[in-house]
Amino acid sequence: MKRYNKRAMASILAITCSMSLTFTAAQAEETDLKRELLNLKNKIERLEKSQLAMEEKRKPTLDNIYFSGLIEVEAGYIAGPDGDESDIVVATVELGIEAQVNPWVNGQVLVLFEEDETDPPEIDEAIITIANPNASPWSLAAGRLYVPFGNFDSVAISDPLTLEIGETRETAVQLGYIANGFHALSYFFNGDTNEGDSDNIDDYGFALGYSHEGGERALGYDLGASWISNLGDSDSLQDTVTDPDNLENTVGGWGLHAKLNWSDLALIAEYLSAAESFDSADLAFAGSGAKPRAWNIELDYGFKIADREAELAIAWQQSDEALALELPQTRMLASLSMGIYKNTALAIEYIHDEDYDAKDGGSDEDTDIITIQLALEF
């Protein structure tokens, strides 16, 4: 049998007696403690509910506010008359916010960054649109926007030469009518190039078009025409003309485009041109006033690779009297893109450019460009 120390036994007996004497008092104290804890718990719950209610009142609502983005990273290799070069760039970063504040009013802001082009980032678009297609075919848009001159449709990595001549971003007011596949748009703005000392809202343009969606085995199409009163206000030309603030004369521009869809095939055709020659003091070509113009013909084919969506594009483009814009006279390209994950695509493109003849001021040389692009939309 295990022996216990006498001192330990005495302590155990003392504790046992003490516990029996204080049991009734401890029960009473425990009941009071439970009551206090319950009251404290209820008080904390009331405070938490009150705090949540205050936070809900302060928290901004995100109803009808939409965020979007685009990231394009490109690796390129160029073999031209000045030697070879290669680089990796963040070609595009776009962050968009759109708010549908009520059934009639929409606001849109787009921030753009292009490495070596827009650094720091800039506000690419900021537009307020008043429109409700369920109630009216009419719309009104105002702000920093790309006016509807030209179409510039393409699935290739590179922009078509038509865009390099005609794309125009201005702070403008645009009125539109869209119904039953038909659209008509008109706009006006104060451009960045001026004739003489003029600095007024005297630039304008319009676009007309008709489209039919078609189906899997039915022909779909999109046909359109556009006009701008001052082609010198395009993003490229306003940086190229000799004196943007004092043009000898303004020159309008016009464009035509057509797109045909059938099954997995699409054919794109576009032509864009100055309405007449610029004054040679404003924009020259081969010793005379230039009349820049360009066209693009592109064939697209959609198919699948290992159950992933893919698209092949083959294009033939040409410019004329656009040497001052540093455009090639002839461009041939092939582009292949494929979705590798949701909203993620990988593309490769090959371009063969032919420069203007030496007698026109060009190099009469060829340039080959290979571009690989990884793009993510969200």
Q: CATH number, domain at 142?
A: 2.40.160.10
> 213, 221 in Cβ contact below 8 A?
no
pLDDT at position 162: 98
Each residue's pLDDT tens digit, 175-190: 999 999 999 999 999 9
Domain endpoint, select from 59, 86, 101:
59
Instruction: Clarify whether residues 340 and 236 are in a common domain.
Output: yes
| Residue 318 near residue 329, CB atoms below 8 Å | yes
Identify the domain containing residue 55 by its residue range. Answer: 7-59
Q: Specify whether the CB–CB gap between 255 and 240 falls below 8 A.
A: no
Distance CA 158, CA 74 (A): 11
Return the beta strands (E) in the chain as ranges: 65-80, 83-100, 105-114, 118-131, 138-146, 169-179, 182-189, 203-212, 220-228, 253-262, 265-274, 284-285, 288-289, 293-305, 308-320, 330-341, 344-354, 366-377
Cβ-based neighbour number of residue 351 at 10 Å: 22
Give the tens place of pLDDT for each residue, 229-268: 999 999 999 999 999 989 999 999 999 999 999 999 999 9
pLDDT at 65 over 90: yes
For residue 139, being part of any structural domain is answered with: yes
Both 74 and 19 in a single domain?
no
Range 361-372 average pLDDT: 97
Burial class (CB in 10 A: 0-12, 13-18, 19+), 196: exposed
My answer on whether 293 and 328 are in the same domain is yes
Categorize the per-residue pLDDT at 13 as very low, low, confident or very high, splitting at 50, 70 and 90. Answer: very low
Q: Among 15, 40, 59, where does a domain finish?
A: 59
Tokens of 75: 């690796």
Contact status, residue 79 vs residue 63, Cβ threshold 8 Å: no
Same domain, 33 and 123: no
CA-closest candidate to residue 150, choices 175, 167, 171, 127: 167
Instruction: Please tell me the total number of residues recorded for the chain in this structure.
Output: 378
Same domain, 191 and 230: yes
Burial of 117 (0-12, 13-18, 19+ CB in 10 A): exposed
Count the domains in the chain: 2
Residue 289 is assigned to a structural domain of this protein: yes
Q: Both 335 and 218 in a single domain?
A: yes
Is residue 157 assigned to a domain?
yes
Of 59, 84, 102, the residue at which a domain comes to its end is 59
Handedness of CA 151, 127, 194, 208 (dihedral sign): positive
Based on the fold, state whether residues 191 and 279 are members of the same structural domain: yes
Q: For residue range 268-320, what is the model confidence (pLDDT) as tens digits?
A: 999 999 999 999 999 999 999 999 999 999 999 999 999 999 999 999 999 99
> What pLDDT is stored for residue 33 in this prediction?
43
Specify the pLDDT at position 44: 43
pLDDT, tens digit, 9 for 90 and up, residues 323-342:
999 999 999 999 999 999 99
